[in-house]
Amino acid sequence: MSIMGSLQKKIVSVLILIAILVGYGSAIKPVTVSAATKYVTRGDMIQMILDELHETYDEFSLTDYITTAKRIGLINENTFTNYDVYANKEEVAMLLVRADEYLYGKTINSDLVKKIVKCRISDISKVKKKYRNFLAKSYALGYIIGKSNGVYSTDRKFNPKNKVTVAYAKQLVNKIRDKESRHQVSPDGQLIRTTNLPKMAEFYPYILASYPNSYYDWKFLFMRTKIGDELVYGTDRWVSKVNYASPKDFCEYKDGKEVFYYYYSKNKVTSKQLYDECIDEWEENARNYLECVFNVDYRTIKDDKEWMEKLLSADFNGTLDRENTIKTINEYIKAAIKNKTIVESKIIGVDRSSLYTSNGFIYLRAYIKYRVVSSKDLSCVIKSPIIFTRDTYSEFKNLKLGEWRDGYVNIDVSSGVPNYGVETLYLNDYFYDNEVQGK
């Protein structure tokens, strides 16, 4: 064979090899483009994860890397049919969760997953059913966190069908082994922040990302307590976990001794047992109570049965002494009609992370953005015709018709009746108090 013929054969062989490499490479070789406008394919995402897991495979063999991914449980026979398609968030969430479970096992409580699916993903209806638990787990594990729905929101928007950029995919894959870079989620499935913290962050078990510092930065009732004329907080007469417990210390109140009663067992329980039993109902009833008393229209309230029933179910005495509770509420309704009361809320924020105890009472804190649209009298009077509360005196300051106001309140919650409802709303209007630290 001539030298020229041999050279031609070599050239042809090289060209064939290049064609093969280009063909496979375009389909399955990991993407190295860093521009945020470029998206990651399903195949690229799988290979990036395999690399992070230190799994070996033939990167030029479609069959080999798919076989490897199946072997460790990243995918199965029915997961994908096309690996060149751009991966979306719900698909990436599935791959990340399976990679995490391959390394660390199943670490997420099933109740938390249910809570996230039900309450924390605002666009859950857009997520395919087979991916819903995966998206919830990816959130709980600190991978994909979605976007905020605004201040005091309790859910987030995930846009599950959005394509994932290469840059974002690399960040997510890095979190598989680098747990310190992951986001943190509260025990009830809300995003936690660890920067730009409030001045009083030390008193709380965690700080929610969607709640501003002003929600946290006002004094607890145990800081205002007096014996005689003396403020006792910070003295040896007022001891943490003995005379009071901050939200961070609530479950360690009285050193874990059985000091509370709750209705169903009629036995003493620890603060931790009480918390586990009651917190869901405390939080729900507090929110329902505030939604009722801060949304009143004198023109319709007398015949609003739904409003009455909602308030009764949230009030601590609504089931225990329904007749007298209705009588008390009707007294308020009569006063509200006479006063021509119209009050409405825009935002209500209640979170279990604010639960604390002082003087043997249990309190939740709350935020309300509200305004009084109509009222013949704006002065502070006993049994206010503006906001219904069992407390005899609602301490409004500088109230003006039509003005949106930020209100912070303490809610006394009960552990002694079937519905764990609201005993008293202490409407002290703390936003206008000089003891609000974050103003």
* DSSP labels, 124-167: GGGS-HHHHHHHHHHHHTTS---EE-STT-S-EE--TTSB-BHH
pLDDT at 344 over 90: yes
| Residue 378 pLDDT | 87
How far is residue 194's CA from residue 209's CA, in Å, rounded to a whole number? 8
* Residues 378/396, Cβ–Cβ less than 8 Å: yes
Tokens found for residue 261: 């009663």
How far is residue 136's CA from residue 108's CA, in Å, rounded to a whole number? 10
* Residues 157/123, Cβ–Cβ less than 8 Å: yes
Of the two residues 18 and 416, the one the predictor is more confident about is 416
Q: What is the mean pLDDT of residues 327-353?
A: 96
| Residue 106 pLDDT | 95
| Residue 385 pLDDT | 92
CA-to-CA dists, residue 361 to 29, 114, 185, 320, angstroms: 63, 31, 28, 19
Residues 6 or more apart whose Cβ sits within 8 Å of residue 21:
60
Determine the 3-state secondary structure of 368 from DSSP.
strand
pLDDT at 369 over 50: yes
Nearest Cα to 186, choosing from 203, 208, 164, 215? 208
How far is residue 121's CA from residue 322's CA, in Å, rounded to a whole number? 36
Determine the 3-state secondary structure of 284 from DSSP.
helix
Tokens found for residue 116: 């996230």
Of the two residues 62 and 432, the one the predictor is more confident about is 62
φ, ψ of residue 21 in degrees (nearest 5): -60, -45
| Residue 290 pLDDT | 94
* Residues 61/52, Cβ–Cβ less than 8 Å: no
Per-residue pLDDT tens for 226-245? 888 899 999 999 999 999 99
The torsion region of residue 126 among left (phi > 0), alpha (psi -120 to 50) and beta comes to: alpha
Q: What is the mean pLDDT of residues 338-352?
A: 96
Amino acid at 35: A
Residues 6 or more apart whose Cβ sits within 8 Å of residue 169:
40, 44, 45, 48, 87, 92
Per-residue pLDDT tens for 133-149? 999 999 999 999 999 99
Q: Which of 37-41, 106-110, 114-118, 145-149 has the lowest mean pLDDT?
A: 37-41
Amino acid at 235: T
Per-residue pLDDT tens for 377-403? 888 777 889 988 876 656 677 789 999
Nearest Cα to 286, choosing from 207, 189, 353, 373? 353
Q: What is the mean pLDDT of residues 337-343?
A: 97
Q: What is the mean pLDDT of residues 393-421?
A: 80
How far is residue 100's CA from residue 74's CA, in Å, rounded to a whole number? 10
pLDDT band with cut points at 50, 70 and 90 for residue 427: low
Q: Other CB atoms closer than 10 Å to residue 192's CB: what's the count?
A: 16
How far is residue 409's CA from residue 417's CA, in Å, rounded to a whole number? 22
Per-residue pLDDT tens for 27-55? 444 444 444 459 999 999 999 999 999 99
Q: Other CB atoms closer than 10 Å to residue 179's CB: what's the count?
A: 11
CA-to-CA dists, residue 141 to 45, 129, 155, 170, angstroms: 18, 19, 16, 17
* Residues 411/289, Cβ–Cβ less than 8 Å: yes
| Residue 399 pLDDT | 85
Q: Determine what percent of the chain is predicted with pLDDT higher than 70.
A: 85
Q: Residue 113: how many CA atoms within 13 Å on its side-chain side?
A: 14
Per-residue pLDDT tens for 179-201? 999 999 999 999 999 999 999 99
Q: What is the mean pLDDT of residues 249-273?
A: 83
Q: What is the mean pLDDT of residues 70-79?
A: 95
| Residue 321 pLDDT | 84
pTM of this structure: 0.86
| Residue 12 pLDDT | 47
Instruction: Return the beta strands (E) in 258-394 as ranges.
Output: 260-261, 268-269, 296-297, 342-350, 356-358, 361-374
Share the mean pLDDT of the chain. 87
| Residue 26 pLDDT | 38
